[in-house]
Structure 1
Amino acid sequence: MNGSDLALTTHALRMAEMASDTAMEFFHGRLGVAFKADESPVTQADKAVETEVRRYLKTHFPEHGIFGEEHGVEGDPAGRMWIIDPIDGTRSFLSGHPLFGFLLAHLTGGSPDLGVIGMPALKEVFLGVPGQGASLNGKPIKASGHTRLDQAILYVNEGDKLHRDHPALFDRLMQAGQTRRFGYDCYPHALVAAGHVDAVIDYDLEPYDFLAVAAVVTAAGGVMTDWDGKALNLGSDGRVVSAATPDLHAELLDLVRGD
């Protein structure tokens, strides 16, 4: 890791710690909840975390752009930019469920070259720099290496939306893998990076939902793309596949396409 990367990771981990402390001040407390136009909830905690991280970035990286879920884009997306999801899984957060996360990525030219997945209630921080490795709480992690879908632990994220919008694909997914679980948000992907889960199918995401995650999964030796097998960037359509290996990833793409 060169000096520039080390500086970025040091700052990213500091922001993850700050975000965790702020989120946990609100967790299991009384939350002011509103609903956005798409009916997704936003809490005081989302806004407080993003405001704090933005303030830090403007102090330490004033020349970089910022794209946050709650306050939008500042700066040039084609340059160096940080992307923030202050609380990934607000529905989990507001219902007292601990599997909400904090997502932070550094982008160059719209593609992630550093990612952090913070899990405040679990006291876990995943860090990934593609080409240089991934870690969990400072210890190296690696994807499982499993290559066959019929032997894989498969998570299906956003299953209710998949069932509604892609019923035939949903039916195929219910026959896939050795073990299947339903999930939401970032943590199933983090488990791919850590080697506990082999694959995740996900749907209807925004860039701040998947770019940090993609950096961590890729850094851990996994593969994460859109459903067409294309690399993820700011322009991706929000349909994603994470897998431990290229072989497993190829099987999942065939399943998604109905091949």
Structure 2
Amino acid sequence: MIKDDFSLLDRLAEASAEAILPHFRRLSGVENKADDGFDPVTQADKAAEAALRAILASERPDDGILGEEFQNHAGSSGRTWIIDPIDGTRGFMIGLPVWGVLVALADASGPVLGMMSQPYVGERFLASPDGAFHVDRAGRRTPLATRPCASLDAAILTTTSPDGFTPEVIPRFAALARRCRMVRYGTDCYAYALLAAGHVDVVVEMGLKPFDIAPFVPIVEAAGGAITDFAGERIGPTLPHTFNGEAVAVGDASLLPAVLEVLNG
């Protein structure tokens, strides 16, 4: 069944691409979902999630669906598809290609399959029990592997924005950034994908929802990394039901204690 589910990811990627790409850099409008602040959603988000849900309803009618834009479907199989049609909508709005289509399949043990698809760039990052892989525009598949990095002073750190941290964590993240070789912002979902590919060493974020992180649990872990909350607890087993919004991903697991020590003051 998992093999068939993994093959289904290709259909989901293609359908979401067809729904999204006509709108990229051609947006006609943006809605704000937030009562306070700004939480954008575009017609591309809605069209892509509708396309994903239509395929899942047809091919996996007994599975649950947890998505960002529409009502959840409980299902009866004990399995849940977790989808974010466009992770990085703010970047999408201004034409930056750092957004991605996120899909995960979770069972009682947590996410077992994961995909980030970037149709404009033409690449996918995938994970199954057989490993983690990068697929390019030509369909060439290569294994993903994190890189060794045992010390903070050699590490490249990323986050989407420090604005996502609570007031007490902001100075701790700043301290972590000073300890690292370099810090980059605005990476959205690409940060985790690039960590799995061996280009980034640490990702730290707060305020996430299950659909923001679920695919990257199997992708990062199958590539050789680790992904936990700020207490060092593995995220995977609690998804999608319980999640506090914190994520710390490291390509080299030996780096995790040093990162957590700084983040926890």
For the aligned pair, the TM-score class normalised by the smaller chain equals over 0.9
C-alpha deviation, 1:163, in angstroms? 7.1
Partner residue, 2:132: 134
Q: Which amino acid aligns with 2:5?
A: L
Counterparts of 1:77 and 1:97 in 2: how far apart (Å)? 39
C-alpha deviation, 1:184, in angstroms? 3.8
Partner residue, 1:25: 22
Partner residue, 1:256: 263
Partner residue, 1:204: 207
Number of equivalenced pairs:
254
C-alpha deviation, 1:210, in angstroms? 0.4
CA contact 1:77–1:109 (8 Å) conserved in 2: no
Alignment of 1:181-196 (within 5 A): 181-196=184-199
SS at 2:147 equivalent: coil
CA contact 2:176–2:259 (8 Å) conserved in 1: no
Partner residue, 1:239: 246
Counterparts of 1:208 and 1:78 in 2: how far apart (Å)? 19
C-alpha deviation, 1:250, in angstroms? 1.8
SS at 2:157 equivalent: strand
Structure 1 unmatched ranges of 5 or more: none
Pair 1:44-2:47 in alignment: no
RMSD of aligned Cα (Å): 1.7
SS at 1:74 equivalent: coil
Map Cα deviations across residues 72-94 of structure 1 (whole Å, 9 max, x no partner).
31015991010100000111111
Q: Which amino acid aligns with 1:245?
A: D
CA contact 2:102–2:215 (8 Å) conserved in 1: yes
Counterparts of 1:80 and 1:13 in 2: how far apart (Å)? 19
Q: Which segment is superposed worse, 143-152 or 99-108?
A: 143-152
CA contact 2:62–2:77 (8 Å) conserved in 1: no
Q: Which segment is superposed worse, 62-71 or 181-190?
A: 181-190
Counterparts of 1:208 and 1:105 in 2: how far apart (Å)? 8
Pair 1:6-2:16 in alignment: no
Pair 1:155-2:152 in alignment: no
Percent of aligned positions that are identical: 36
Partner residue, 1:34: 31
Q: Sort the Cα spacing of 1:163 and 1:66 in 2 relative to 1 into closer, same or farther, 3 A.
A: closer
Q: Which segment is superposed worse, 135-144 or 46-55?
A: 135-144
Structure 2 unmatched ranges of 5 or more: 136-140
Structure 1 stretches (4+) deviating beyond 6 angstroms? none
Counterparts of 1:67 and 1:110 in 2: how far apart (Å)? 16
Partner residue, 1:91: 90
Q: Sort the Cα spacing of 1:184 and 1:165 in 2 relative to 1 into closer, same or farther, 3 A.
A: farther
Counterparts of 2:114 and 2:142 in 1: how far apart (Å)? 16
Q: Which segment is superposed worse, 214-223 or 70-79?
A: 70-79
Counterparts of 2:41 and 2:174 in 1: how far apart (Å)? 32
Partner residue, 2:138: none
Counterparts of 1:77 and 1:148 in 2: how far apart (Å)? 46
Map Cα deviations across residues 2-57 of structure 1 (whole Å, 9 max, x no partner).
xx222111001220122122211110113321001252000000000000000000
Pair 1:221-2:224 in alignment: yes
Counterparts of 1:85 and 1:62 in 2: how far apart (Å)? 19
Q: Sort the Cα spacing of 1:126 and 1:96 in 2 relative to 1 into closer, same or farther, 3 A.
A: same
Q: Sort the Cα spacing of 1:181 and 1:18 in 2 relative to 1 into closer, same or farther, 3 A.
A: same
CA contact 1:162–1:169 (8 Å) conserved in 2: no
Counterparts of 1:180 and 1:65 in 2: how far apart (Å)? 38
Q: TM-score, normalised by structure 2?
A: 0.91
CA contact 1:147–1:244 (8 Å) conserved in 2: no
CA contact 1:203–1:239 (8 Å) conserved in 2: yes
